[in-house]
Amino acid sequence: MSSLASKPQFLICGLLTAAILLFSQPLWGQEKIPWRTGIELDKQLQRPFDLTWDSVPLRDGLHSISQTQGVAIFLDRRIDPDQEMTMNFAAEPVESGLLRIAAQIGAGMSRVGDVIYIGPEATAKRLPTVAELQTQFAKGSTLTEVVKLVHQKQHHWPKLTTPRDLLINVAVAHDMTWSNLDQVVKHDLWPAVDFPPLKTTEYLTLLLAGYDASYRFDKTASGVQLQLVPIPENVSLTRTHRFEGNHQDAVAKIQELFPEATVKSDGKMRIEVTASQEIQEQVAKLLRGGTARKTVVMPGEKVFTLKIKDQPLGPIVQALAPRFGLEAVLPQGMEAELNQRISFAVENADMKALWDAVFSETPFTYALEGDKLIVSKKPAAQ
């Protein structure tokens, strides 16, 4: 059958052995968190909060934010949940603070339904669009089983649940079957989770995100079959926005803010935009008279708040370089000097300020050459 979700350019997949951790309640059966949803979540994400982390494991830090702010946070398992985080800020909007955390670990952040997802930047960038495409397809389907996927439901499960079981449960509940589940979703055990209400299309999108996977439908003689499919490099959707103001000015503003979007106007009532779901939401806000804003933190805009105490120089350089997409090239025959212990602290530092702090009290300097960080001995003082 022909469908939006059966067209490869709109679908997601992969064979990565990843799963996802949701930060909600620590133990199954405890009192559920009253998650912020809808407009209340919009407001909560803009409310300021303070954060002080000193060598706090990422999992614990995000769990604390999730509990205190009432915001469900979903961490992709490809992100090390035990890495220690040191950062501080005051009166930062919740959304901005989560973006800063994601940027510091070299990840991205996005929102699917009423859940905040933090994971590999390429996945985070596409996830809201994928969820919306699947929702649009389900709404327009002639199959009763598929249409029901847009219904909202509270989803939760106990600890040690496998993702395979969760996905099979969804299929069974909608009178469907999976065709290639075992080839893509490997055995794993997940912690207890309590989601806010989600459309099943959003729920499936989150369950499969850690595998870089989504799904398509096939109508067979035995019923509706779900098939996992690969994620494309680019996903977008087209939406028509009604607008009664000056179309020339509106189109110019949209193109200025979102040059990656394709914008068309009939000059009267309709502006057609082809872009990601996140851009569509910002365009809608702009055309309603609000302020559109970009929430994606680009790699070049990463800032670091970091405190290092009495650690060897060489391993610190090798650990930090990949955060900037760099390969550290260390001098040969200087292993003893590179094991020198260093201590430093930076707050909201860009790449240059961070590397300056790393090498400030050492006999070494650095140079950036393409994607390499070249470390060398400082020239002797004259």
pLDDT of residue 301: 47
The C-alpha angle with vertex 374 and arms to 373 and 377, in degrees rounded to 5, equals 140
pLDDT, position 302: 57
Between CA 180 and CA 156 the distance in angstroms is 24
The domain boundary, picked from 213, 230, 247, lies at: 230
Residues of the chain with pLDDT under 50: 1-30, 295-301, 382
Q: Are the C-beta atoms of residues 353 and 337 closer than 8 Å to each other?
A: no
Share of the chain above pLDDT 90, in %: 47
Residue 69, sorted as left (phi over 0), alpha (psi -120 to 50) or beta, turns out to be alpha
Same domain, 42 and 132: yes
From its phi and psi, is residue 155 left (phi > 0), alpha (psi between -120 and 50) or beta? beta
SS3 317: helix
**31 and 168 assigned to the same domain:** yes
The CATH number given to whatever domain includes residue 350 is: 3.55.50.30
Same domain, 89 and 109: yes
Q: Which domain holds residue 316?
A: 303-377
Q: Which of 367, 323, 362, 321 is nearest to 343 (CA)?
A: 362
Tell me the backbone φ, ψ of residue 34, rounded to 5 degrees.
-80, 85
| pLDDT in the model for residue 21 | 47
**Considering the domain boundaries, does residue 292 fall inside one?**
no
Q: Report pLDDT digits (tens) over 219-248.
A: 888 889 999 998 788 899 999 999 988 999
Whether 225 and 241 share a structural domain:
no
pLDDT at residue 297, rounded to an integer: 42
> What is residue 24's predicted lDDT score, i.e. its pLDDT?
42
For residue 147, what are the contacts with CB-CB under 8 A and spacing of at least 6?
138, 139, 141
CATH code where residue 270 lies: 3.30.1370
Answer whether residue 298 is part of any domain: no
Model pLDDT for residues 132-189, shown as the tens digit of each residue: 999 999 999 999 999 999 999 999 989 899 999 999 999 999 999 999 999 999 888 8
